[in-house]
Structures are given as C-alpha cells and as structure tokens.
Amino acid sequence: MIYFLYGDNMIDLKSIVYERNHNSFTISIDNEIKIKYNEISKTVNDKLFFHYLNFLYRIIDDWQKEYIDIKNIDGDDWKLTITYTNGNIKEYYGNASFPYNFEAFERLNQEFIEEVYHG
C-alpha cells in the first residue's frame, strides 16, 4: 500500500484509470506502481508517480462529476476513475464537454506516459 499526502489528507490509492474514446491507461498501486498503456505494462518509480499525483490532484481539485453537452451527440467520451483502498471511488466523466483545465490534464498524462516509457 502506498500513501500520498495531499494537503492535510492522507490518500491511499488502489488505481487510476483514464479512458477516452476507447483508449485508456491504468495506474495500479500495490507493492509497486505499474502503468498499463497500449497493452504494455511498466513499473513506475515512486518519485515520478508522486510528481504525477501532485499535479493530478491540483488539476482535478474543483472538477464536477460530469461534463455533458446534450446538444452534441457525437462528441468525445472520457472518464477518469480513481479507486481508493477503502473502496471509495471518485469518477469524473464527460461527453463533448470538458472541465476548463482539461488540456492541462491531457498534457500531464502524456508527459507521464512519455517519461515512463521513454525515460
């Protein structure tokens, strides 16, 4: 189990899953941290993971649960699921609508994936 301190809260994560238009990447946390992207799994070092988490929680701190544009039926679907070891789950999702800082979230994920796979 790996704990992360965010503000005054101790966070005990089990997994983070991000899906967009049928593509996904998963971070699973147990005795070690692993990322799975494009069917390839790699171990992540703690320092890189905690850097990612620090920025992730800053980005999603004021997100609403859902972002849906009912006028646009053909937009991008996306979902972020954060599962904690105590069974709690936080989900954020959208269809054709995004939080104001979604590009920062996408950039953070891409940089994290690049660093893990290409160091």
What is the per-residue pLDDT across 77-100, written as a single tens digit (0 to 9) for each? 999 999 998 899 999 999 999 999
- For the chain, the first-to-last Cα distance in angstroms comes to 25
Boundaries of every domain in the chain? 3-118
Structure confidence by residue, pLDDT tens digits, 12-41: 889 999 999 889 999 999 888 999 998 889
Domain 3-118, architecture per CATH: 2-Layer Sandwich (3.30)
d(CA 47, CA 49) in angstroms, rounded, equals 5
Q: CB of 15 within 8 A of CB of 26?
A: yes
Q: What is the pTM of this model?
A: 0.90
